[in-house]
Chain A
Amino acid sequence: MSRKTIILFSGEFDKVMAAFVIANGAAAMDDEVTMFFTFWGLNALRKDAHVPTSGKSTLQKMFGAMMPRGPKKLGLSHMNFAGVGPKLMAKAMRDENVMSLPELIATAREQGIKFVACTMSMDVMGLHKEELLDGIEYAGVASYLGDADESNVNLFI
């Protein structure tokens, strides 16, 4: 068994999709997979529903309101067309029977892929644990590098 590590820095739908396809493929090949979510990538872990929180600064509240809540709200890196692009892409994917992003995320969890949220970017953006998927891990760069040391493929997406 070998290990794969993926840093998901980006929050665009297409890039998040690519990360989860690779992660699921690796897990299906019996690899141990760690996905480290940082900066915009954290938005892929946000719950769909608004989660009431307290103790956020004005700036953090603004981040929270403006950033997409979860995989269904992410924009495209190209041809976003003010939000129409993702809907067209979702239709194209349905037509081709490609798994949806929420399905890929659920499958990743079923396959035991380790999700790690970067606590530093959570602090910066004011994202609280209760706003992200339950049952994930929280850590920083050293924890990620520890996993990367034992990995034979490392991607920054």
Chain B
Amino acid sequence: MSAQTEELKALTGTTTVVDARGTSCPGPILAAKKAIGSVPVGGVMEVLATDSGTLKDLPAWAKKMGHDFLGNYEDSGYLRLFLKKLK
């Protein structure tokens, strides 16, 4: 397990979790967009997804929206992707 994964796992319980599992493109970014408003600035949002395209899409979305993509790791059969809300 990488150091980054350890750091991400340590965030468990402190994040706003958005469950986009089962949805396909553009579902995960629509879910992210819908939920980001409820995340405090400086807070971390965690997106759960099963669509592998989300690995590229969520970082691109975060960059465009001005948030900091922290990374991802694979849980049992799905992805956990993390980003920090910067504004």
Contact = CB atoms under 8 A, between A and B. Distances in A.
Interface of A: 21, 24-25, 27-30, 96-99, 107, 111
Contacts of A96: 24
Contact of A29 (B22, B23, B25, B61): B61
Contacts of B43: none
Nearest to B66: A30
A1 to B, nearest CB: 10
Contacts of A30: 33, 64-65
Nearest to A27: B33
B contacts with A: majority SS = helix
A25 B26 contact: yes
Nearest to A96: B24
Given A28-B61, A30-B64, A21 B22 contact: no
- Residue with the highest number of chain B CB atoms closer than 10 Å, among A25, A28, A96, A107: A28
B78 to A, nearest CB: 13
B86 interface: no
Contacts of A99: 23-24, 26-27
A30 B30 CA distance: 11
B24 A28 contact: no
Given A97-B22, A98-B24, A99-B23, A107 B65 contact: no
